[in-house]
Amino acid sequence: MKYQNIYDRSPIFFQNFMATIYGYKVKRNRYGKTYYDYLKYLDKIHKYSREELETLQFNELMKLLNNTVEKSKFYRELYEGIDINSFKSIDDLKKLPMVTKEMIRQNIDDVITIPKSGASVGNTGGTTGKSLTVYNRPEDSQKRMATLDYFKMKHGFRNMEMKKATFMGKHIVPPTQKKKVFWRYNAAIKQMVYSSFHITEENIPYYIESLNKLKPVAIDGFPSSMYDIASYMIRNNIIFEFKPLAIFPTSETVTTEYREVIEKAFGAKVRDQYASSEGAPFVWECECGNYHYDITTGVIESMDDSNEVLVTSFTTYGTPLIRYRIGDSMVFEDPSKVCGCGFNTPLVKSIEGRAIDFLYSTKGGKISLVNVSNIFKYMPNTITKAQLIQDSLTHMLVKIVVDGDFTNRDKKILTDEIKHKFGNDMKVDFEVVDDIPREMSGKYKLIVNKVKL
C-alpha cells in the first residue's frame, strides 16, 4: 500500500504521528551542519558595508559561473566565445545571453552539473502551465532554508523552536473524513499544518478554535487562506486569544487588501518575502518594513524597458539558472538608498508579482493583481470572495460570494471602479455564486486572464 493510502485509512492521531515521523526525516535532510554553519555566516555578513556586500556578490557570481562552465555542457556551449574570466563587475553579466524556462527544460540533462540521484529535487515557480523540475546540491537547499529562517529570526521567530501555523495546499484531510479536523501536527518542527482546501464559511469557526488552542508564535503559508479567516473574524467581531510575532506569507502575491485585513485580524505585521521558488535570489521585508534585495543570495537585473527581471541565484549549482527569465516583475528603489535596520543592501520598492497576475485594460494595458484587488477597497464586507474572469479585451465576468445581500448600489460602485481602471467600454457581468473553489494546488485565484492577444 502506498503511503497516502495508509495515511488516508488511519485515525487522526496516527496521521499526526505519521506527519511527525515524516517531519523528522525532512528535518534531518534540511537542517544539517551546513544549515547551522550558514546561520552563523549570515550573522557575520549582515553587518557588512555596501561595498563589502558588493564584493561578496561579485565573488559568489564568479564562483557560480566558473563551476557552471566547467560542468554544464549546455552553458559551456551557450557561452562559447565569451571570456568569463575577463569579467570585472556584476554589470559584465549582461554579456551573457538570458535563458528561459523552455530552454532549461528541453536541455535539462545537459544543464545539470550533478547526478540526479542524491540531489535535492524542487520545482521553480511556474508562470505558465508546466513547472520546471530542478536538481540541487543538498547543501544549497540547506543554505536556502537557513536564509529563510534567518529572515524570520530578524522578526523574532525561531523556526523549529517556536510553534507555527502553516496554511498550505497539502492533502492532509482524507476525502472520507467526517470530523471537522482540517489540520495535522508535525511535532518534529512544532508546525500545525492547516488545509487550505477546507476553508469555507461553515468550517472557519473550527479553524479559529484550533488556532486559539495552538497559540502559534508565527503564521505562514498562503495569504489567501489567512485572508479568508481574517475577513470572517472582522465581519463577525471575533478576536483571537493570541498574538503572533509576525505573519510570513508564501507562494502567492500579497495584495494591499490581504495585508490590511490579515494584520488587523491577527494583530501582527505581515512580513513578506520573495524567492520561495528554487530559482530566485531572496528579497525580503525587514523590521523597518523595507524590501531588501539580498545581493548575497544572487543577482536580479531589470530587463530593458520593463520591470520584468532576470535572476541568477547563488544556490543553483546543481541546475544553474543564470540570467533566468523567471517571469516576475519588480521596481527597485534608488540604489543609493540605505535602510536603517543595518543590512546595507539595495532596496526594492515593490514586487509586482508574476506575469500571469494581471488583466488587460480595454486598450491592452496591463493591470496588475495588486491593482485589481484595490477595486474591492470600498466595497462592504458582505462580499466574502471574488474572482474576475476576463475573456476578451472588453468583457469581464465578476463572480462573487456574498454573506447577505448584493445590492444594486454595490453593483454600481463595483462597475464604476472596474470601468475606472479598465476603461469605460469594459462590459461587466456579475454572477453571485455559493463558492469559488481553489486551484488544484490549493492556491486561490482572484483573477483569471483568458484573453488571447
Interface stretch with Zn ion, choices 40-48, 96-104, 337-345, 358-366 (CB under 5 A): 337-345
Task: Mark the segment that binds Zn ion (CB under 5 A) among 60-68, 166-174, 284-292, 353-361.
Answer: 284-292
Q: Cell numbers 479536523 label which residue?
A: 181
Count of residues that interact with Zn ion, criterion CB under 5 A: 5
Among 218, 339, 386, 398, binds Zn ion (CB under 5 A): 339
Closer to Zn ion by CB, 78 or 339: give it: 339
When the beta carbons of 64 and 286 are compared against Zn ion, the nearer one is: 286
Applying CB under 5 A, the span of 58-66, 106-114, 239-247, 335-343 interacting with Zn ion comes to: 335-343
Q: Does 290 bind Zn ion (CB under 5 A)?
A: yes
Place of cell 540533462: 109
Strands (E), 198-346: 218-221, 246-249, 269-270, 273-274, 283-285, 291-293, 298-302, 308-313, 324-332
User: Which residues 381-440 are close enough to bind Zn ion by CB under 5 A?
Assistant: none
Query: Residue 4 Cβ, how far from Zn ion at the closest point, in Å?
Result: 43
Of the two residues 292 and 354, which places its CB atom closer to Zn ion in the complex? Answer: 292
Q: How far is the CB of 272 from Zn ion (least distance, A)?
A: 13
Query: Per-residue x/- mask for Zn ion, residues 213 to 252, rule CB under 5 A?
Result: ----------------------------------------
- Helices (H) then strands (E): counts for the chain: 13, 21
Instruction: Give me the least distance between CB of 42 and Zn ion, in Å please.
Output: 15
Cα–Cα distance list, 301 to 103, 257, 307, 322, 329 (Å)? 19, 29, 9, 11, 10
| CA 227-228-232 angle, 5° bins | 110
Cell numbers placing 402: 456574498
Q: Does 321 bind Zn ion (CB under 5 A)?
A: no
Return the number of the residue (62 or 338) whose C-beta is nearest Zn ion: 338
Please report which residue ranges of 170-279 form alpha helices under DSSP H.
204-214, 223-235, 256-266
- Give the one residue of 193, 275, 286, 359 binding Zn ion; rule: CB under 5 A: 286
- Buried (b) or exposed (e) across 253-268, using 16+ Cβ within 10 A? bbbebbbebbeebbeb
Query: In angstroms, rounded to a whole number, what is the distance separating the alpha carbons of residues 40 and 367?
Result: 42
Instruction: Return the residues of window 341-370 that contact Zn ion according to CB under 5 A.
Output: 341
d(CA 453, CA 444): 25
Q: How near is the Cβ of 347 to Zn ion at its closest, in Å? A: 8
Residue 337, interface with Zn ion (CB under 5 A)?
A: no
Stretch that binds Zn ion, among 20-28, 102-110, 325-333, 336-344 (CB under 5 A): 336-344
Cβ at position 337, least distance to Zn ion in Å? 11
Region from 207-215, 286-294, 429-437, 440-448 binding Zn ion, contact rule CB under 5 A: 286-294
Measured CA angle at 183 (ends 4, 131), to 5 deg: 55
Query: What Å distances lie between residue 213 and 7, 185, 207, 372, CA to CA?
Result: 24, 13, 10, 36
- Residue type for position 393: L
Residue from 239, 288, 432, 433 touching Zn ion (CB under 5 A): that is: 288
Q: Decide: helix, strand or coil at residue 81.
A: coil
User: What residues make contact with Zn ion under the rule CB under 5 A?
Assistant: 286, 288, 290, 339, 341
